Amino acid sequence: MQKSTAKGFGRKGWGILVLTFFSILINAMIIYDSLNVTIPAGWAPKFGMQNPSLLYLFSTIGAWISVPGAIVFGWLCGKKSCRFAWGLALILNAVACAVWPFASVSPIYLIFICIANICGMGFAYIANLNVVSNWYPTKKGLAMGVVTIGFPLSATIATPLCSGLIGSVGLSGIYTLFAAVCLILGILVILFVRDYPEQAGAYPDNDKSFDREQADRLLAEGLEYQKTSEWQPKKFLKTGNVWKIIFPLGIMELFSLGVMSNFVPRMAQIGFDTAACTPMLACAGLVACVGSYLCGVMDQKLGTKKAIVITFLVGILSLGLNVIGGFITTGTVGDLGYILIFVAQPFMGIMLGGAANYLVSLISTIWGRYDFDNGYRVMKPAVAIIGALGITLCGAIGNSLAIGYAYAYLLICVLCIIGTIVAATIDDTYVGKK
């Protein structure tokens, strides 16, 4: 498909993007960023734990368990519709969040973090991003740049929000809020979302140069092509280029999950309290919101592969500054080490903003609109398996030594260097429907 010259995303398209944005935001708050507060100040005391490392391990287990969930929701997208899978995942998550605060022992907590990860895979990664890809086949970089602002915005607001709520309404109030948001979003998705813009009386990429008859005909041809396409899941799994995509994007996700979910414990280890961390998290999150959109622009202008390599280099720089700052700080706000860590946050924010963008865009670039579904249902679970290691990797190494988080960050830095090299070898030639 040629580059679209259409302006903007269109009124109905903006509706899809807004629902996708809020789905991503609430998922990131529930299973990632709220943990900075809810684990040390809520769950660990409730379970009588001095060391909350086990609860961080549960998050990794939950992320791994979400992988078969991704397969199920991908199947539901094909069997029923992405709208159905998206709405169902949100409503199931609402029920889980409403009951979650009543967990009285850590194994019950594990069950609910697994349910939240499984449902989140459905409504924040699989079904919703399939819809975005269907609506914006050639403007996917810009579209993803908008919706993935939800990830870094969560890092900005989740910690102060949960810090304010934990003392007044406790875990019950926090998770009731999460449940209400998921329920409202689920109802809106079922009522208003359509898998393809043509089904909503709109146009792919908001490109109104197509007449209605032509748009409907091209959609029918594409859906018929899907039935006989050679690019079935088995072929994706056997293709070397697929694994060149999975590894670096998995490392990007590992960076995002590991660094941000352990940021407060990392800062505490080098002598700073939560009050000193809050402006840094806010800085990282706000810059990442802008960075997410800039990564989308870079994706659209330079190509996804170049955007991935540049984003990796930015992430490596941020980790280096953070580690150096951690080694030289005296634990005093305003000293040179603190300043270096603070300076690192905008760069770290850009990495966080870009990490969520590129898989959808790269699959669309190489395989196009009608092979996207099979490619994404194979690659996203594999990326998630690698990414899930981030929380445990940082938590386990970080809590095992006096300066363990520095070693964890250095290990992630090395993985990012390897990821950069692998990403540079990706073949981004189009091979989808001609």
Instruction: Give the pLDDT score at 396.
Output: 76
Q: How many CB atoms lie within 10 A of CB 411?
A: 15
Q: For all residues of the chain together, what is the average pLDDT?
A: 88
pLDDT tops 50 at residue 1: no
Question: Tokens 């993985």 appear where?
Answer: 415
pLDDT tops 50 at residue 327: yes
User: If you average pLDDT over residues 362-366, what whole number do you get?
Assistant: 92
pLDDT tops 60 at residue 5: no
User: If you average pLDDT over residues 242-251, what whole number do you get?
Assistant: 96
Burial of 225 (0-12, 13-18, 19+ CB in 10 A): middle
User: For residues 278 and 284, what is the distance between their CA atoms, to the nearest angstrom?
Assistant: 10
User: If you average pLDDT over residues 76-94, what whole number do you get?
Assistant: 95
Hey, what domains does the chain have and what are their CATH numbers? 11-195+229-423 (1.20.1250.20)
Contact assessment for residue 258 and residue 271, using Cβ atoms and an 8 Å cutoff: no
pLDDT digits (tens, 9 = 90+) for 54-72: 898 898 889 889 988 888 9
Instruction: Give the pLDDT score at 397.
Output: 83
pLDDT digits (tens, 9 = 90+) for 8-34: 899 999 999 999 999 999 999 999 889
Instruction: Give the pLDDT score at 4.
Output: 43
Nearest CA to 53 out of 216, 239, 238, 265 is that of: 265
Q: How far is CA 105 from the centre of its chain?
A: 28
Q: What is the DSSP letter of 3?
A: P
User: If you average pLDDT over residues 425-430, what whole number do you get?
Assistant: 95
Residues 6+ apart with CB under 8 A from 14: none
Q: What Rg value do the Cα atoms of the chain yield, rounded?
A: 21
State the chain's maximal CA–CA distance in angstroms: 68
User: If you average pLDDT over residues 351-372, what whole number do you get?
Assistant: 84
Q: State how far the alpha carbon of 200 is from the alpha carbons of 15, 114, 131, 203, 308, in Å.
A: 11, 34, 12, 9, 33
Instruction: Give the pLDDT score at 353.
Output: 64
Of residues 71 and 280, the one with the higher pLDDT is 71
Nearest CA to 43 out of 95, 100, 120 is that of: 100
Instruction: Give the pLDDT score at 403.
Output: 67
What is the number of residues in the chain? Answer: 434
pLDDT digits (tens, 9 = 90+) for 110-139: 999 999 999 999 999 999 999 999 999 888
